[in-house]
Amino acid sequence: MHHFQYRGNTLFCEDIPIGTIAEAVGTPFYLYSHATLTQHFRAFDGAFEGMNHVTCFSMKSNSNQAILNLFAREGGGVDIVSGGELYRALKAGVDPGKIVYSGVGKRAEDLEYAVKSDILMFNTESSQEILRLNEVAGKLGKKARVGIRVNPDVDPQTHPYISTGLKENKFGIDIRKAPEEYTRAAGMENLLVSGISCHIGSQLTLLSPFVDTLSRLKDLIQELDRAGIHIEYLDLGGGLGITYDQEEPPHPKEYAGAIREGLGKNDLVLILEPGRVIMGNAGILVTKVLYTKATDEKRFIIVDAAMNDLIRPTLYGSFHGIQPVDDSGRDKFKADIVGPICETGDYLARDREVEAFEPGELMAVMSAGAYGFSMSSTYNSRPRVAEVMVKGDQYYIIRARETYEDLVRGEMIPDFLR
């Protein structure tokens, strides 16, 4: 349940009509509901109550400082994939003892930054990276807690671009090779072998791939135990799906229940890395209709948001619900919702049955809280949009709309051109 609902004909975010915010901040903008964010975090984290666990929000889905701060206050940590994300997390007040670091291409300087910050665990993804981490930690005179991200070769049955745990994917270390890597790592002076991790994909709507993965990881943990390598943290990654359209993903309670059952009794500390399931339906993108036009083939609704603001439809063929901010119950027609960018791939929805939108009207692009703003760019020299958070009947700008000056910041014309 989220807090973007109609009262009469008017779409509200919590207790504010969305039109009121649009008037004040202009369009387009991302809009997040504080109540929804809190509720989603608690529903997820609370589902694991009674199990020793840390919920490490996957901040690549949304890395705004206000949002990270909110989750940190709720007791959450974060899953990071770059030095930049570490910087954001620390700045937002996230406890470094609750930060885990994944990614296939961590640079030496990023490893160094994270070792110095004393994060909870490095989820390493290759034997070369393990060596590099040992080297970096040695140079700093520290010991780094290390886990190996294993690739369990489980089909998550999701979009190929967001499936990560198949043996043809670039992620992790083949689970069959993991024991020898653990043995090597255990012999390294500046590493403390402490965990095992995986992340098999995103937008999963079935429990079985999670359960299969868990059972493979448990087998490995037992094998390592027999070899005298003790695993303390079991990081199951993220990936739980949400409803964009008609999907019926498991509730976090069912997900947690399946893990509880699969895990049985033991003293492992669970790490979970949810992103989309917390963020996705807690945010929308609000845009304004600029023009409409029709050809013999099609109708187009041209809006002021574009693929640079929300790339998911064109990158993954993703579905986002399209709703009028003022729903006066008009006729519907089939149209493509497109932006101003000079690319045919610039659409937010295709062949969609929508209200007969008119120029000047506001449109809500639903389920845009995850991988929305964080994947946005300034392509076509479009300043990044504002982000706003609503709490009750108040709204707060949590990221100012970028300006034209922001667009050229750091650019320089060399002397020889002057």
Ligand X SMILES: *Cc1c(COP(=O)(O)O)cnc(C)c1O
Catalytic positions are 342
Residues between 356 and 395 with contacts to ligand X, criterion CB under 6 A: 370
List the structure tokens of 329. Answer: 């119950």
Q: Which is nearer to ligand X, 25 or 240 (CB)?
A: 240
Q: Which is nearer to ligand X, 76 or 274 (CB)?
A: 274
Using CB under 6 A as the binding rule, whether residue 61 contacts ligand X is answered as: yes
Using CB under 6 A as the binding rule, whether residue 134 contacts ligand X is answered as: no
- Candidate ranges 54-62, 226-234, 285-293, 375-383; the one touching ligand X (CB under 6 A): 54-62
83 in Cβ contact with 116 (< 8 Å)? no
Q: Which is nearer to ligand X, 196 or 325 (CB)?
A: 196
- Candidate ranges 91-99, 130-138, 236-244, 320-328; the one touching ligand X (CB under 6 A): 236-244
E strand intervals along 198-331: 233-235, 269-272, 283-294, 299-303, 322-324
- Measured in Å, how far apart are the chain's first and last C-alpha atoms? 58
Q: Which is nearer to ligand X, 195 or 239 (CB)?
A: 239
Q: Which is nearer to ligand X, 130 or 240 (CB)?
A: 240
Residues between 240 and 269 with contacts to ligand X, criterion CB under 6 A: 240
Q: Which of 55, 202, 281, 308 binds ligand X (CB under 6 A)?
A: 202
What is the torsional sign of CA 178, 180, 181, 186?
A: positive
List the structure tokens of 108. Answer: 């030496």
Task: Phi first, then psi: give them for residue 183, nearest 5 degrees.
Answer: -60, -45
Helix (H, G, I), strand (E, B) or coil at 311: coil
User: How would you class 299 by CB atoms within 10 Å of its CB: exposed for 0-12, middle for 13-18, buried for 19 or more?
Assistant: middle
What is the torsional sign of CA 249, 254, 257, 258?
A: negative
Distance CA(275)–CA(280), nearest Å, equals 8
Q: Which of 276, 320, 352, 382 binds ligand X (CB under 6 A)?
A: 276
Helix (H, G, I), strand (E, B) or coil at 406: helix
CB of 358 to ligand X, least distance (A): 36
CB of 74 to ligand X, least distance (A): 17
> Got the DSSP string for 134-171?
HHHHHHTT--EEEEEEEE------S-GGGB--STTSSS
Closest CA to 107 of 118, 96, 99, 115: 115
- Candidate ranges 172-180, 205-213, 222-230, 273-281; the one touching ligand X (CB under 6 A): 273-281
Q: Which of 76, 77, 147, 238 binds ligand X (CB under 6 A)?
A: 238
Q: Which of 27, 36, 58, 151 binds ligand X (CB under 6 A)?
A: 58
CB of 180 to ligand X, least distance (A): 23
CB of 227 to ligand X, least distance (A): 26
CB of 100 to ligand X, least distance (A): 8
- Candidate ranges 43-51, 205-213, 225-233, 237-245; the one touching ligand X (CB under 6 A): 237-245
Task: Phi first, then psi: give them for residue 133, nearest 5 degrees.
Answer: -60, -40
Binding mask 85-104 for ligand X (x = CB under 6 A): -----------------x--
Helix (H, G, I), strand (E, B) or coil at 197: strand
Using CB under 6 A as the binding rule, whether residue 79 contacts ligand X is answered as: yes
Residues that bind ligand X (CB under 6 A): 58, 60-61, 79, 102, 199, 202, 237-240, 273-277, 370
